[in-house]
Amino acid sequence: MNIGFLGLGGMGAAMAGNLLKAGYQVSVWNRSADSLKPLLDQGAIAAQDPIDALRNDVVISMLADDAATRSVLLDSGALASAKPGLIHIGMATLSVGLISELVALHRERGVTYIAAPVFGRTDVARAGNLNILAAGPAEAIAQVQPLLDAMGQKTWLLGEDPLSAAVVKIAGNFMIASAIETMGESAALVKSHGVEPSQFIEIMTSTLFNAPVYRNYGPQIAEQRFSPAAFRLVLGLKDVGLALEAGQSRHVPLPFASVLRDSLLEAVARGDGELDWTALARIPLRRSGQD
């Protein structure tokens, strides 16, 4: 099974690297060619363009957002030139609107689309321990399951409709952002009363909130350790926007998502957009005069 891989940011490069380690032939493409060399050194083949990458049996895309996905797959003519029978695994976090459009366009070309966004940061991706949310034709998912196994520790099957995987990913990221916001506000509260945020976070993650999101992000918030970014704050803003869009499309109010969006916008306006999204915790400190 020959694989094309589009998008070699921190996540994509790690995932493509694990496919190479598993012995697959992988043809890689990225808008910035600087990311290619480490993978080429591992045995990857450089695709000339997205059209070239789609000449494989399976293509995987891990592109930054809707705009990048539209540019690389649609505007370039790559999908229009794809051969019938190709399986496309879309692993980025995209809007429900674009997913719906992609499903229809793939169907017109005789190409199978599987939505398979992931939970896990770059370190988790490098270790091959991602949790993968997969939705699409069951036969196609079964065919590419060995590829998913090479990149993740578990595949969560969510039925035949790719929208199901997309909305679970969006809702999950909304919950993570909400946890970061509440940790940031709580840390600012205890600090104002003379309690060290690090002690507070240790207590919370050892008792009430002994869960990966709190254990991983809590110490970063307590220590104000926002660089290097494992997940950039601007991407968090994008994902909360996707949650609001998905809610609006089905008339589901998400009032706290609106609060989060405004806090993330404030963080970007203050120059924190390229920091890790835990830098959202700076906002409560600033508002209370403690930063």
Which residues are marked as active site? Answer: 169
**In degrees, to the nearest 5, what angle opens at C-alpha 100 toward C-alphas 94 and 104?**
130
Alpha helices, DSSP H only, in 110-230? 122-126, 138-151, 162-192, 197-206, 212-223
Q: What is d(CA 267, CA 161) in angstroms, rounded to the nearest whole number?
A: 35
Q: What is d(CA 105, CA 99) in angstroms, rounded to the nearest whole number?
A: 10
Q: Is the peptide bond before 212 cis (omega within 30 degrees of 0)?
A: no
CB atoms within 10 A of CB 21: 12
Q: What is d(CA 145, CA 149) in angstroms, rounded to the nearest whole number?
A: 6
Q: What is d(CA 213, CA 205) in angstroms, rounded to the nearest whole number?
A: 9
Q: What is d(CA 283, CA 263) in angstroms, rounded to the nearest whole number?
A: 7
Cα pseudo-dihedral 190, 283, 274, 65, rounded to 10? 110
Instruction: Please count the CA atoms within 13 angstroms of the CA of 88 that sit on its side-chain side.
Output: 29
Q: Which residues pair with 2 in a beta bridge?
A: 25
